[in-house]
């Protein structure tokens, strides 16, 4: 089979199965995105073995989560997000400290090495904002104060998580370079603050020049340049590309026309299934057959859920109890962020294949339980903007 035909077949299987299971899960009143994750699990090495993780699928997955966060950013007003800045910072810190201690403590309790425990703790730190953002957007809940807090905290959480990862990986290699670490932290926070605060003003200043462009879909083209440019800049200053994508969407949110939103939704609808199915593709079950491993996996999954729920909820000062619960639940998914740590630990020879499989399973588990828990936590909250306005996120 020619390589192009082979790629087309893989795309057909991944996208088709993801959408089929999404439809099936929606009919049984389970969020469709859970079905898309299970599609990856079903067709991947864990069950049928039809599809193996591949670099080009990984690239589509990264594009999918970038467009997802860009689309979410288009629905977030900068003033509202900065309005919860102090609370979001406290939530992010609480969502780093308790998960790290929980992961490290459980691994040590089960007889793992100090370094294994540290890597496991680091993997439980960062929140995968793409999962929560998709649920909130599809239900028209991005306007709610707790949702704004979750998004703000997740961005800060990403910065803190990468700093924790830098410390952990540095500890595995040898003595830490504290000067380089401090520089990375400063640059990351400075980038987020500057782009978040001045991004909208810069876009407004360039608006007159954009109207003079003669290319087709000029607004969308300029938006894509901003999306990819800020994503690249985010990587170079030490944070994830999705942070830059989110900031690009937020900078454009006050001035974005309906055409830009529609085109962005179409691109997101195409690419997000590869991101969600890609999570399921990475699950490995061979290392989880031992009862002791299953017990450790279950304990870590419970700790991963409760540590975010409690750590973030307690630190959400100024909120009612129900909003604290919503914030805690919204910070639960680990998704691809934890898997980056798992892959790094495996490649460095720190994590064994068994501990790697456990960590991936925990990340997938937190990703799967989050959408139903969010639906319960936000029950009774009025949607502003129907789910039909977010077709790519439903």
CATH number of the CATH domain containing 124: 1.20.1530.20
Query: Is 365 inside a domain boundary?
Result: yes
How confident is the model over 165-175, as pLDDT tens digits? 666 666 666 66
pLDDT at 102: 92
> pTM of the predicted model, to two decimals?
0.68
CA dist., res. 262 & res. 98, Å (int): 40
Residue 342 located in a structural domain: yes
Read off the pLDDT of residues 340-393 as tens digits, 9 standing for 90 and up: 667 666 666 777 778 877 887 888 788 778 888 888 888 888 777 544 443 333
Residue 146 counted as domain residue = yes
**How far out from the chain centre does Cα 226 lie?**
20
Residue 12 lies in a domain: no
Where on the phi/psi map is residue 388: left (φ > 0), alpha (ψ -120 to 50), or beta? alpha
The two structure tokens encoding residue 31: 């969020």
pLDDT of residue 385: 57
Q: Is residue 40 part of a domain?
A: no
Structural domain boundaries enclosing 331: 62-270+294-372
For the record, the structure tokens of 307 come out as 């540590």
CA distance 63 to 11: 14
C-alpha 293/C-alpha 272 separation (Å) is 32
User: Distance between CA 127 and CA 327 in Å, rounded?
Assistant: 12
Q: Which segments of the chain have a pLDDT < 70? A: 1, 31, 76, 79-84, 130, 158-159, 161-163, 165-178, 180-181, 184-185, 238-240, 284, 286-288, 335-341, 343-348, 385-394
In a domain, 379, yes or no: no
Please state the domain count of the chain: 1
Computed on alpha carbons and rounded to an integer, the radius of gyration of the chain in Å comes to 20
**Given this model, what pLDDT does residue 21 score?**
92
* Domain contains 303: yes
What is the per-residue pLDDT for 153?
83
- The answer to whether residue 43 is domain-embedded is no
- pLDDT value of residue 16: 94
The whole-number pLDDT of residue 300 equals 92
Q: What is the rounded (10 degree) CA torsion for 31, 37, 42, 43?
A: 130
């Amino acid at each position: 089979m020619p390589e192009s035909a082979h790629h087309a077949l893989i795309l057909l299987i991944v996208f088709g199965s993801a959408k089929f299971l999404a439809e099936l899960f929606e009919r049984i009143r389970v969020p469709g995105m859970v079905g898309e994750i299970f599609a990856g699990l079903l067709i991947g090495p864990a069950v049928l073995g039809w599809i193996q993780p591949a670099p080009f699928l990984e690239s589509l997955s990264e594009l999918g989560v970038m467009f997802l966060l860009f689309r979410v950013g288009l629905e977030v007003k900068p003033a509202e997000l900065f309005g919860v800045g102090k609370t979001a910072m406290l939530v992010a810190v609480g969502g780093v400290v308790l998960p790290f201690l929980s992961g490290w403590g459980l691994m040590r309790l089960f007889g793992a090495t100090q370094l294994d425990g540290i890597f496991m703790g680091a993997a439980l730190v960062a929140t995968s904002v793409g999962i929560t953002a998709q649920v909130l957007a599809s239900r028209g809940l991005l306007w709610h104060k707790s949702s704004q807090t979750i998004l703000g905290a997740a961005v800060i959480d990403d910065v803190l998580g990468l700093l924790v990862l830098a410390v952990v990986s540095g500890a595995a290699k040898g003595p830490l370079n504290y000067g380089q670490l401090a520089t990375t932290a400063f640059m990351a926070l400075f980038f987020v603050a500057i782009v978040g605060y001045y991004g909208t003003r810069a876009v407004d200043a360039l608006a007159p020049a954009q109207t003079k462009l003669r290319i087709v879909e000029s607004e969308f083209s300029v938006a894509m340049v901003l999306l990819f440019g800020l994503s690249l800049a985010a990587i170079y200053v030490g944070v994830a590309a999705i942070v830059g994508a989110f900031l690009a969407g937020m900078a454009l949110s006050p001035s974005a026309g309906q055409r830009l939103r529609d085109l962005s939704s179409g691109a997101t609808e195409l690419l997000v299934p590869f991101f969600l199915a890609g999570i399921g593709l990475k699950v490995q079950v061979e290392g989880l057959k031992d009862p002791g491993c299953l017990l450790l996996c279950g304990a870590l999954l419970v700790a991963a859920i409760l540590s975010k729920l409690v750590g973030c909820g307690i630190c959400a000062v100024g909120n009612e109890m129900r909003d604290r619960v919503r914030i805690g639940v919204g910070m639960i998914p680990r998704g691809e962020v934890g898997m980056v740590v798992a892959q790094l630990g495996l490649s460095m020879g720190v994590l064994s294949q068994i501990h790697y499989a456990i960590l991936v399973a925990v990340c997938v588990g937190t990703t799967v339980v989050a959408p139903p828990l969010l639906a319960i936590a936000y029950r009774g909250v009025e949607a502003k903007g129907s789910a039909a306005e977010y077709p790519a996120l439903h």
